[in-house]
Chain A
Amino acid sequence: MVKMNFTIITKSPEETKKLGKEVSKLVKPGDLLAFYGELGAGKTCFIQGISRGLEVKDYVTSPSFTIINEYQGKIPIYHFDLFRLNNAKEILELSYKEYFYGEGLTVIEWAEKIEQFLPKEHLKIDIKFKDRYQRKISFIPQGDRFNNFLEELSRIENIRD
């Protein structure tokens, strides 16, 4: 199977959130989405869109302080923010396996800090600044599950400009 990558430009935080909502329609319990992107790129914003799509009622705030936030929507969401992690091994103290291989959707901000601990199957979502408001969002699948995932995502109407 050809590995499928694709990239979308969003023009505002609202559009990034909307894209997150589209992605939420395809996620299943046990999926892991790994977010890459510098401060202010829109990682939390994208995840807010996913959570809205999964009918989470709580505010989805930055978990930089508590490292993990859990929300209950249509499925459980485990929201990691590893901004404060210095050493990948520190993730071992957080019983990360219970989340990564658990019954919910795991989303990880600053995933680059623990790359060696990510499961084989996951979806890498890389958000880059294009200018002050626009973002270039690339989806890079790791494993078959996410190849199929991206094929379905690319079929959603109007997902591309």
Chain B
Amino acid sequence: MSDLILGIETSCDETAAAIVEDGKKIISNVVASQISIHQKYGGVVPEIASRKHMEYIIPVIDKALDESGKKITDLSAIAVTYGPGLIGSLLVGLSVAKAMAYAQNIPFIGINHLEAHIYANLLEHNEIKPPFVCLIVSGGHTSLVYIRHFGEYKLLGQTKDDAAGEVFDKITKVLDLGYPGGPITERLAKEGEPSSIKFPRPLLNDGSYDFSFSGLKTAVNYYIKELKEKNKIIPVKDILSSFQQAVVDVLVEKTLRAALEFKTKQIVLAGGVAANSSLRREIKKKANLLNIKVFYPSTFLCTDNAAMVASAGYYKFKENKKSSLSLDAVSRLPLERKYY
């Protein structure tokens, strides 16, 4: 018999619910994005985020059930993100998931958002087998992780200041280009020259697997500031192209180095920035030369969604790793922490 898992995700921008069969087959996948609301403000507004989640959560879950053609009584378990993220937002999904699981008397499984991003890859790629190295890179995170077995993670390094995706958002805000910064940068960068401006590549050769994007952010901002003060034309496309190249260079270099050190033949990308085509292209090109295969999810599974939560939930469910109904939302949640 197959197992149907309902996944729920409300950690940041998106209110999402999905039903996944046996951890692989997406039966339904609904995402109500708040981006149109946040666009006005140039970023996530926490108060609006939690209020909108409350408004959307029940209709989104209903829609996921409707589209799947399944009934609530067909579910084997409910999986939900409990961290990391905005506390108020996490609580909305978590509370609904607990109530539903309790009412249906089925297991409730708390999922780490970062782990869910890794599992997004398993929805599409059967070939992924640990050990592998995974780069999780988004608006809130930049982490390099070694996965020996599923569920066993070694954090190799992470950002010491800003997340890569966050810097994209901040730079496009300085340039008055809007939100979210990733897709906007990618589009305009294509028409620019990536080597036209020399921006720093922080920590590129420091020997660690940590990242730092704050110095790059400052350098880009100062470059723009100086041009503005001198009333010069701002070469937006060249700036974005050179900036994106600096981010990609650091991400690719450190990820490849980790794969070589841990002698893995697979690299997995996860998180919203994994949708960046420049990152995908460059890492594939270089990994090919080293005989290393690179995997990443389709764009709709890179950004926040609930199918990845349901997928992660399925594997926990199979290992009988249920969560207690007293599980709390956790704003800062490292990958290693046990959830059950």
Give the B-binding residues of A (Cβ under 8 A): 13, 38-40, 42, 44-45, 48, 59, 61-62, 64-70, 83-87, 89-90, 92-94, 129, 132
Contacts and interface: CB of A to CB of B under 8 A. Distances in A.
B88 interface: yes
Nearest to A82: B46
11 contacts: A39-B218, A40-B214, A40-B219, A48-B161, A65-B139, A65-B163, A70-B332, A85-B46, A86-B42, A87-B45, A93-B46
A16 B84 CA distance: 30
Given A13-B215, A67-B86, 12 more contacts: A38-B221, A61-B161, A65-B12, A65-B139, A66-B85, A66-B140, A70-B331, A84-B42, A86-B42, A89-B47, A92-B47, A93-B50
B217 interface: yes
Contacts of B159: 59, 61
B162 A62 contact: yes
Given A65-B166, A66-B84, A129 B225 contact: yes
A59 B158 contact: yes
A39 B217 contact: yes
Contacts of A92: 47
A56 to B, nearest CB: 13
B46 A90 contact: yes
Given A64-B43, A84-B42, A40 B140 contact: no
Contacts of B45: 84-87, 90
- Contact count band on B: 35 or more
A13 to B, nearest CB: 7
A69 B43 CA distance: 18
Which of A42, A62, A65, A89 has most chain B Cβ within 10 Å?
A65
B41 interface: yes
A98 to B, nearest CB: 12
A93 B161 CA distance: 25
A62 B222 contact: no
Contacts of B44: 65, 84
Contacts of B332: 66, 69-70
